[in-house]
């Protein structure tokens, strides 16, 4: 979906992607705390793993965007789909892994958290460089592309954190809140894919 006409759609879906991402982060932390307990070690492991995944995903997403530049929008849609699918599975997967490794040593618990969160966090991290590469082909201004997308995603993340703490956790269960976030990913993936098809067929 080339051209400047795609920018409002991309900004809107990246805003929604940010909403889902922060709902996940807060909800997954609660699930992991319930599975592994709450102490300074578990908090450090969870946050550092999430940040590592975002960084690794950004690096991988940038490389893919360079190699498959004409397919960055499809790749973005697939990343969002993958995040949503993991979100649906996480409500059962995280407690199951926690029950399996609850009484293990700290390195084993760290490895379990690492493997649980690395994939979805990497997919989240990969989305920004993919969209930056796509918008750069439209406006030839990398600073504007990064700034605009980062603003939209950060505003969405702020809304997601607010919604999780003020609304979702008060009126929905933790699992239901995660399903709301997954629905956001599916909406993003479907909207981008449909928008792309309409502009290229």
- Per-residue CA distances from 86 to 2, 81, 165 (Å): 29, 9, 22
CA–CA separation, 74 and 10 (whole Å): 12
Query: What's the mean pLDDT in 113-135?
Result: 87
- Confidence (pLDDT) at 140: 62
Q: Tens digit of pLDDT for each residue in 6-28?
A: 678 888 999 999 999 999 989 99
At residue 173, does pLDDT exceed 90? Answer: yes
pTM of the predicted structure, to 2 decimals? 0.87
CA distance 82 to 87: 8
Calculate the average pLDDT of the chain: 85
CATH for the 4-200 domain, from 1.20.1250.20, 3.65.10.10, 1.25.40.10, 3.40.50.300: 1.20.1250.20
Tokens of 123: 């997919």
Judging by beta carbons within 10 Å of its beta carbon (0-12, 13-18, 19+), is residue 25 exposed, middle or buried?
buried
Instruction: Taking each helix axis as running N to C, give the angle between helix 7-36 and helix 72-101, from 0 to 180 degrees, rounded to the nearest 10.
Output: 10
Give residue 4's pLDDT.
46
Tell me the average pLDDT across 76-86.
96
């Amino acid at each position: 979906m080339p051209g400047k006409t795609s920018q409002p759609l991309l900004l809107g879906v990246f805003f929604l992607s940010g909403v889902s991402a922060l709902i996940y982060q807060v909800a997954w932390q609660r699930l992991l705390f319930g599975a592994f307990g709450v102490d300074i070690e578990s908090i450090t492991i969870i946050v550092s793993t999430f940040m590592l995944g975002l960084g690794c995903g950004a690096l991988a997403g940038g490389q893919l965007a360079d190699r498959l530049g004409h397919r960055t929008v499809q790749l973005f849609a697939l990343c969002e789909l993958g995040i949503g699918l993991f979100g649906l599975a996480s409500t059962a997967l995280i407690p199951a892994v926690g029950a399996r490794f609850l009484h293990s040593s700290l390195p084993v618990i760290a490895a379990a958290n690492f493997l649980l969160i690395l994939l979805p966090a990497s997919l989240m991290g990969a989305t920004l460089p993919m969209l930056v590469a796509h918008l750069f082909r439209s406006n030839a201004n990398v600073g504007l592309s990064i700034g605009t997308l980062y603003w939209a995603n950060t505003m969405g993340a702020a809304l997601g954190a607010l919604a999780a703490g003020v609304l979702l956790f008060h009126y929905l269960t933790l699992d239901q809140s995660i399903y709301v976030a997954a629905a956001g990913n599916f909406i993003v993936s479907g909207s981008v894919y449909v928008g792309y098809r309409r502009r290229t067929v």
